[in-house]
Amino acid sequence: MDFLPDEIDRYCIEHSQDEPLLLAELNRFTHNNVLQPRMLAGHFQGRALSMLSKMIQPKIVVEIGTYTGYSALCWAEGLAKGGVVHTIEINDELESKINSFFEKSEFGEFINLHIGLALKLLRQFEAPIDIVYIDADKENYSAYYDCVFDKVRSGGYIIADNVLWSGKITNNIEKMDFETKCLYEYSLKVKADVRVENVLFPIRDGLMIARKR
Ligand SMILES: C[S@@+](CC[C@H](N)C(=O)[O-])C[C@H]1O[C@@H](n2cnc3c(N)ncnc32)[C@H](O)[C@@H]1O
């Protein structure tokens, strides 16, 4: 869901960096060939993730939810020298599609794709992680947060997508469906956690950025 009026939305996109050619190709490919293309970050959010990465210059990014690899490629743009993006995807049918785009990218060699269940695969990563990007099954957002928290360095970030969930998040709690409730509880949890400082940015479907003190 776009929360901004169309003309403001268009203006923001038109006055942001153009979508890099390979990402535009991946965007088109995903829309033409993969189910649920709305899951892809897309031009504007992709530029926002790329900018965040360039500001933070992470050495280690762990992304939960690769889909076709669009956001992983955006995170990779800002890696510090020697840095790596680890991205986790449960759907092995996407593996060859993801790799075909990683292979075409100048950043592909800095991205490691892990196929499997995120909660299981997360155990293998060690501190210090600079950025964790949560963008997978909504019911596990809080579990992902707990699982990675101690591995994120002090001053590192846990960033979660879709925390506005098309605006359903403002519904009366009794009327919320399960996923909405999980996202609502996630935002409450982050806000109440004295170990982090946080801002919920209304970028696309809502980006919760928590910085570990
Ligand atoms: C919203 S999409 C990710 C979009 C991607 N980050 C982007 O912006 O291009 C969510 C992805 O998470 C994957 N996923 C869902 N549950 C998962 C789990 N338990 N472990 C790993 N991946 C999971 C889905 O298969 C889907 O491809």
What are 33-63's pLDDT values in tens digits? 999 999 999 999 999 999 999 999 999 999 9
Domain 6-212 has CATH 3.40.50.150: yes
Query: What's the 120 CA to ligand 1 centre distance in angstroms?
Result: 14
Query: What's the 46 CA to ligand 1 centre distance in angstroms?
Result: 15
- Is the whole-model pTM more than 0.85? yes
196-201 and 152-161 as β-strands: parallel, antiparallel, unpaired? unpaired
Quick one: pLDDT at residue 201? Answer: 97
Establish whether residue 98 lines the binding site of ligand 1, counting it when its CB lies within 6 angstroms of any ligand atom.
Answer: no
Establish whether residue 117 lines the binding site of ligand 1, counting it when its CB lies within 6 angstroms of any ligand atom.
Answer: yes
Q: What mean pLDDT is predicted for residues 23-33? A: 98
pLDDT at 2 over 80: no
Q: What mean pLDDT is predicted for residues 142-156? A: 98
What value does the mean pLDDT of the chain take?
97
**How confident is the model over 55-86, as pLDDT tens digits?**
999 999 999 999 999 999 999 999 999 999 99
Ligand 1 pocket test, pick from 93, 124, 135 with the greatest ligand atom count within 8 Å of Cβ, gives 135
Establish whether residue 75 lines the binding site of ligand 1, counting it when its CB lies within 6 angstroms of any ligand atom.
Answer: no
- Reported in sequence order, the residue ranges of the chain that DSSP labels E, i.e. its strands, are 60-64, 84-89, 111-115, 129-134, 152-161, 196-201, 207-212
Q: What mean pLDDT is predicted for residues 170-186? A: 95
Q: Where are the domains of the chain?
A: 6-212
Establish whether residue 91 lines the binding site of ligand 1, counting it when its CB lies within 6 angstroms of any ligand atom.
Answer: yes
Q: At residue 152, what are phi and psi to the nearest 5 degrees?
A: -80, 135
Quick one: pLDDT at residue 69? Answer: 98
**How confident is the model over 126-141, as pLDDT tens digits?**
999 999 999 999 999 9
pLDDT at 20 over 80: yes
Percent pLDDT > 70 in the chain is 99
Query: What's the 40 CA to ligand 1 centre distance in angstroms?
Result: 9
Q: Which residue has the higher pLDDT, 1 or 17?
A: 17
Nearest CA to ligand 1 atom 27: 67
Distance CA 20, CA 43 (A): 9
Establish whether residue 71 lines the binding site of ligand 1, counting it when its CB lies within 6 angstroms of any ligand atom.
Answer: yes
Q: At a CB cut-off of 8 Å and minimum separation 6, what does 141 contact?
A: 134, 160, 182, 183, 186
pLDDT at 1 over 70: no
How sure is the predictor about 3, in pLDDT bands with cuts at 50, 70 and 90? confident
Ligand 1 pocket test, pick from 47, 91, 142, 162 with the greatest ligand atom count within 8 Å of Cβ, gives 91
